[in-house]
Amino acid sequence: MPEVPRVVRLVDPEGVRLAPRRPVGTGALVLAGSSGRVDEGRARLLAGRGVLAESVRWFGGPGQPAGPWDVPVETFVRRVEALAAECDRVVLVGTSFGAEAALVTAALAAGTGAPVDAVVALAPSDVVWAGVAPGGRQTSHWTWGGRPLPFVPFVPGWAPVDDPPAFRDLYLRSREADAARTTAAAIAVERIAEVVLVAGGDDQVWPAVRHAKEIVRRREAHGLATTLVTDQEAGHRATLSGEPRVSAGMAMRRGGSETADRRLGEAAWAALCRALRVPDDVAR
């Protein structure tokens, strides 16, 4: 059976650290998507494999933006530094907006003293997107050194035709509206040593497979290999081996099905474990 880790509650930012009794030397920062929540369940899953795993709230907490806009990337870099102080290898595991955050953090941290060894990005983005602040103001999801990173703004006047809404069309239209801004907002994924991408072909939140292929293409242009795990019938949320299906969150169309989303997660599990440098089929 997987081991039971020691739980440490983090305060600034709010979060959790799960310390295994028999650490393997890998640390992982788990970043949830548009909820910004502390994903203790996924962190616990990784800690059960001997990984020193953390997850933090990245908006909506004390001293943080109320929503996913103007979030300092330094929030994540500080946690990378804390993990690196105790681990030989640091991996970021993010989903959706959290995958965007993980890729941005790893790309920027490459120029600091806290490099990230690998990123596992589920339902990823190859660009930085707009966050919509109160009053409809569009700004970047992320800041670095107090400055907003270049971002792709949403096209004006778009409205969903579905109920609950699907946002895939909004993201497609927005990235094609201004090629120069889209290019400027591209994440420098070629600065990341190792990247694993997990994307569902029926993702109705945003075109995750297209995003993933853009990341693969950009890294190939720099002579870098990328692991891409896809399932054409899966949606926005892959369910990893050992995880319950998540049903909470904002009402929207996410695509996929429980069977396909679990199939994608199970296919991704081996690649995730390779990035973490832990076995994928032997319980600890």
Indicate the range of 82-91, 126-135, 155-164, 232-241 predicted with least confidence: 155-164
Return the half-sphere exposure (C-beta side, CA atoms, 13 A cut-off) of residue 51: 31
- Give pLDDT tens digits for 239-277: 998 887 765 556 778 899 999 999 999 999 999 999 999
Q: How far apart are the C-alpha atoms of 280 and 119, rounded to whole Å?
A: 17
> Is CATH 2.40.30.170 the classification given to domain 6-276?
no
Per cent of the chain over pLDDT 90 is 86
pLDDT at 283 over 60: no
Q: Name the burial class of residue 115, with classes exposed (0-12), middle (13-18) and buried (19+) by CB atoms within 10 angstroms of its CB.
A: middle
Cβ of 131: how many Cβ atoms within 10 Å? 23
pLDDT at 137: 95
Q: How far is CA 239 from CA 72, 88, 90, 107, 195, in A?
A: 28, 28, 22, 26, 19
Q: Which sequence spans correspond to the domains of the chain?
A: 6-276
Q: 261: helix, coil or strand?
A: helix
pLDDT at 250: 67
Q: Torsion over CA of 99, 237, 245 and 31, rounded to 10 degrees?
A: 10
Mean pLDDT value of segment 98-112: 94
pTM for the model: 0.95
Mean pLDDT value of segment 195-216: 98
Amino acid at the residue 283: A
pLDDT at 260: 97
Q: How far apart are the C-alpha atoms of 199 and 228, rounded to whole Å?
A: 8
Q: How far apart are the C-alpha atoms of 124 and 236, rounded to whole Å?
A: 10
The chain-wide mean pLDDT, for the chain, equals: 93
pLDDT at 284: 38
Q: How far apart are the C-alpha atoms of 82 and 63, rounded to whole Å?
A: 20
Amino acid at the residue 262: R
Cis peptide before 164 (omega within 30 of 0): yes
Give the confidence band of 2 by pLDDT, cuts at 50, 70, 90: low
pLDDT at 249: 58
- Give pLDDT tens digits for 135-149: 999 999 999 999 999
DSSP state of 155: P
Strand 71-72 versus strand 142-144 pairing type: parallel
Of the candidates 47, 39, 34, the one whose C-alpha atom is nearest the C-alpha of residue 83 is 47
pLDDT at 121 over 60: yes
